[in-house]
Amino acid sequence: MSVRRLAAVQPEDFEFTQDNLQWAERQIAKYPEGRQASAVIPLLWKAQEQHHGWLPEPAIRRVAEMLGMPVIRVMEVATFYTMFNLEPVGEHFVQLCGTTPCMLRGANALKDVCRKVIGEQRHVTGDGKLSWLEVECLGACANAPMVQINYDYYEDLDPENFETLLEDLRAGRAVRTGSQTGRSCSAPLGGDTTLTDETLYDGSRVGKWRKRFDETSAPGDATEPTSEGRPAELSRPEAKTSKGKQDAEALPDAGGAKPSEAKAPRRSAKKTDGEG
């Protein structure tokens, strides 16, 4: 695990904007008294979002003050989770997946593009537009190689379309998120090979199935439910003899007597004193 330290150059102070402060107070209010520390991650994330994508030390102190936590406890959270950037990043922060599936599909060539267009890792371009960092798996292995830039995924990259993507971002031109080859979600590169019949999912087959089911359901079929979801009365043999009485009273026991008769207490045959 890499050593994570705060940036050498820090701002003098940090305060949430009024909107973000109200948002933070709502997060804190979700937790009972004495448990406000549970809001530490959302507050740190909002502070990073407000401060140009990275988390300064004054923001860590401010969050600790708001939650009544020792500063060192908030510092432990901020330095443990790699989702928090502890030093400045570019306006477009490129996180490049370098784990096995992406590496096998050409991630190393994408690193070369980053070094060419941006520079080494953690370096911010002079115009403040771009910086990059190699990260662990981002969970889009079927569309490798890929990168995450701020909150969006860019997939099916190669050196040519990736360099074009970075230059478009730097110039402020509109870009397309997701697959850069036009692939639909995680479908095969050559196009869909299964579930290509639209009637499988457009509802038409379901309607036909329901019609067949209604036609073949016999009137006394036990699978035919009532409006309450129970089997219909006419499908229960015991209901025909009960005539509205409870089932337990309608069914005889093995000796031919009704349950109510079988359970009736018997009078003792033993005579007591004073009886004739």
Higher confidence at residue 202 or residue 95? 95
Q: How confident is the model at residue 230 (pLDDT cuts 50, 70, 90)?
A: low
Please report how the helices 57-67 and 40-50 are oriented relative to each other, as an axis angle in degrees rounded to 10.
Answer: 140
| Domain at 18-80: CATH code | 1.10.10.1590
Contact of 60 with 79, CB cutoff 8 Å? no
Mean residue pLDDT across the chain = 83
Is the pLDDT confidence value at 180 over 80?
A: yes
- How far CA 48 is from CA of 15, 44, 199, in Å, comes to 12, 6, 48
For residue range 12-31, what is the model confidence (pLDDT) as tens digits?
999 999 999 999 999 999 99
For residue range 132-144, what is the model confidence (pLDDT) as tens digits?
999 999 999 999 9
> For the chain, where do the domains classified as CATH 3.40.30.10 start and end?
92-179
- Which sign, positive or negative, has the C-alpha torsion 100, 152, 39, 75? positive
> For the chain, where do the domains classified as CATH 1.10.10.1590 start and end?
18-80
Domain 92-179, CATH among 3.40.50.1100, 3.40.30.10, 1.10.940.10, 3.40.190.10: 3.40.30.10
- Closest among 168, 8, 16 to 92, alpha carbons compared: 168
- What would the mean pLDDT of 52-56 be, rounded to a whole number? 96
- Per-residue pLDDT at 219: 57
Which three-class secondary structure state does DSSP give residue 35? coil
Q: How confident is the model at residue 265 (pLDDT cuts 50, 70, 90)?
A: low
Contact of 48 with 40, CB cutoff 8 Å? no
Is the pLDDT confidence value at 2 over 50?
A: yes
